[in-house]
């Protein structure tokens, strides 16, 4: 039996390999239906029988469909800052809804949004705020409201257990106890997360505190402080986001980049230091961001807060759900034609138009935070092992798929434990899995035994884990309850690459 299943898989992979040479940069040419869980038994695989190179090109995202250049014809849209409710006790109302959005001139695309037609507003919190949020589901399908990166008790975290049916609403209460950071929110209903995010459900959370307000960083929203939500999409011939047509079990990738929902965006800035809060809000695509002038920029924050000092970089890679805050100094940047933010392939993501106007001449502080990795924590033994494995819909964590009835790990509230995340390669070589833990900001101890790079020495809630890489992280939960940990390639998550930890 096993041999027959394996043989049929080799044949189907052979066909895929052949088609890859004709349609090398088009993932949509793949037929995933030939490869289903259960047909494949890794233990019986013989690596020598496989055409490694052909398969690697396809399956490991070595050749993902490339992005179209932004023509820069549309000024970047900036999400609205959500106004607080005046109703007693309720701070914000967040409503998931359907809508129509003119992404392409003259055509309406069907989209989802929070408090609007597409994407969501920015929710601003201050450390110490006692927050009440009324969440409302106005969709025709169940959804949840997950606050990605927020350290709150599991009953308000919005994981797959907290489903709101169409028409339902629920008031959540929590206190903001963590430091200044750029977080985000998105739905998390099991099996439907990828489609709902793809259609437009994603918004940002800004946390400020006394420290962040005193640093003198650019913070004039929409003037020198911009959020940039990167999402790649495939639009069909009618300019619709047809998820089932675009879907790839191994992570849905598109040729069209939207930033904050803007097609062909351009950003106009003054000659000053500008803060860009980058969010990889894509289902699966990784981005390496750089300036086409070759200039460096400063990274000032990771997922969950400021780095200790600004880190100069010429490029930064973000896997799905990771954030970074960077400062680009447009007063000293090299004069080049068509200055733009580009990716690793040189695709133009965001052209910049620099006006003649000088902005505030500010100094970025040399010390931004007091993040530390204590010696005793660094030398704690590994007490949780997470093995990420597989591809397409054959993805697992520690050999298992998500089961809402199963608790995979337990940990005590307030205890710090060292988790080792291992990305076990498969016969294709494997692929990067972005690993996320709910309800906690954690610290990277090491990558394959080596210190993390300077720009990863800060609070993280999502990390990229390369094939065959082992990442050790120090994890502490401030609150109790059952939290998810999972791959943030949204199709992998929906395909069960997710586990549960009970914090007691």
Binding site for Cu ion (CB under 5 A): 433, 487, 489, 492
DSSP conformation class of 199: H
The first and second tokens of residue 384, run together, are 């949780």
Q: What residue is closest to Cu ion based on CB?
A: 487
The two three-digit tokens of residue 55, written as one number: 């398969």
Rounded to the nearest whole angstrom, what is the least distance from the CB of residue 388 to Cu ion in the complex?
6
Which of 183, 431 has the CB closer to Cu ion?
Answer: 431
- How near is the Cβ of 489 to Cu ion at its closest, in Å? 4
Q: Which is nearer to Cu ion, 85 or 408 (CB)?
A: 408
Map tokens 């940069």 to a residue: 25
Residue 469 beta carbon to Cu ion: minimum distance, rounded to whole angstroms:
13
Closest CA to 270 of 168, 189, 362, 174: 362
Report d(CA 328, CA 336) in Å as an integer.
Answer: 15
Q: How far apart are CA 456 and CA 503, in angstroms?
A: 26
Residue partners of 311: CB distance under 8 A and separation at least 6: 298, 299, 454, 455
Provide the minimum distance between the beta carbon of 142 and Cu ion in the complex, in angstroms, as a whole number: 24
Q: Which is nearer to Cu ion, 93 or 462 (CB)?
A: 462
Q: What's the closest the beta carbon of residue 423 comes to Cu ion, in angstroms?
A: 9
For Cu ion, give the closer residue by CB, 284 or 326: 284
Q: In the complex, what is the shortest distance from the CB of residue 41 to Cu ion, in angstroms, rounded to a whole number?
A: 20
Nearer to Cu ion, 263 or 397 (CB): 397
Minimum CB distance to Cu ion, residue 431 (Å)? 7
| Residue number, 179 or 250, with CB nearest to Cu ion | 250
Query: Within 13 Å of residue 10, how many CA atoms lie on the same side as its CB?
Result: 17
Residue placing its CB nearer to Cu ion in the complex, 225 or 493: 493
Long-range CB contacts for residues 19-27, cutoff 8 Å, separation at least 24: 20/54, 20/57, 20/58, 20/63, 21/54, 24/57, 24/63, 25/63, 25/64, 25/65, 25/66, 26/65, 27/58, 27/64, 27/65, 27/248, 27/253
> How many CB atoms are closer than 10 A to CB 189?
23
User: For residues 231 and 200, is the Cβ–Cβ distance under 8 A?
Assistant: no
């Amino acid at each position: 039996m096993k041999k027959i299943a394996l043989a049929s898989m080799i044949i189907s992979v052979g066909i895929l390999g052949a088609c890859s040479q004709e349609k090398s940069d088009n993932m949509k040419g793949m037929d995933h239906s030939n490869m289903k869980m259960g047909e494949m038994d890794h233990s019986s695989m013989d690596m020598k029988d496989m055409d490694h190179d052909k398969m690697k090109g396809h399956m490991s995202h070595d050749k993902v469909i490339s992005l179209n250049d932004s023509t820069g014809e549309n000024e970047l849209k900036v999400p609205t800052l959500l106004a607080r409710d005046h109703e007693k006790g309720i701070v914000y109302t967040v409503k998931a809804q359907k809508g129509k959005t003119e992404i392409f001139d003259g055509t309406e695309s069907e989209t989802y949004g929070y408090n609007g037609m597409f994407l969501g507003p920015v929710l601003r919190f201050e450390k110490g705020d006692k927050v009440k949020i009324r969440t409302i589901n106005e969709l025709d399908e169940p959804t949840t409201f997950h606050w990605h990166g927020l350290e709150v008790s599991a009953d308000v975290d919005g994981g797959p257990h907290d489903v709101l049916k169409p028409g339902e609403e629920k008031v959540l209460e929590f206190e903001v106890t963590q430091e200044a950071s750029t977080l985000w929110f998105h739905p998390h209903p099991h099996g439907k997360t990828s489609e709902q995010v793809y259609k437009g459900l994603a918004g940002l959370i800004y946390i400020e505190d006394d420290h962040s307000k005193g640093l003198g960083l650019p913070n004039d929203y929409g003037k020198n402080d911009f959020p940039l939500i990167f999402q790649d999409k495939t639009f069909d011939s009618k300019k619709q986001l047809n998820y089932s047509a675009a879907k790839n079990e191994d992570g849905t990738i598109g040729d069209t980049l939207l930033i904050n929902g803007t097609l062909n965006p351009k950003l106009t800035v003054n000659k000053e230091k500008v803060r860009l809060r980058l969010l990889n809000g894509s289902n699966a695509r990784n981005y390496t961001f750089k300036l086409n002038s070759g200039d460096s920029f400063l990274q000032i924050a990771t997922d969950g807060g400021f780095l200790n000092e600004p880190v100069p970089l010429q490029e930064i890679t973000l896997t799905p759900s990771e954030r970074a805050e960077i400062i680009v100094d447009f007063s000293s940047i090299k004069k080049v034609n068509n200055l733009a933010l580009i990716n690793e392939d040189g695709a133009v993501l965001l052209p910049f138009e620099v006006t003649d106007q000088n902005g505030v001449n500010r100094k970025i502080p040399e010390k931004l935070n007091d993040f530390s990795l204590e010696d005793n924590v660094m030398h704690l033994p590994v007490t949780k092992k997470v093995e990420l494995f597989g591809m397409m819909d054959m993805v697992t964590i520690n050999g298992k798929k998500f089961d809402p009835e199963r608790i995979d790990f337990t940990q005590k509230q307030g205890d710090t434990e060292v988790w080792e995340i291992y990305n076990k390669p498969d016969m294709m070589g494997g692929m990067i899995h972005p690993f996320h833990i709910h309800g906690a900001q954690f610290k990277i101890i090491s990558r394959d035994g080596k210190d993390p790079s300077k720009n990863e020495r800060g609070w993280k809630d999502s990390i990229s884990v390369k094939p065959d890489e082992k990442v050790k992280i120090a994890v502490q939960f401030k609150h109790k309850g059952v939290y998810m940990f999972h791959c943030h390639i949204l199709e992998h998550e929906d395909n069960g690459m997710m586990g549960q930890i009970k914090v007691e």
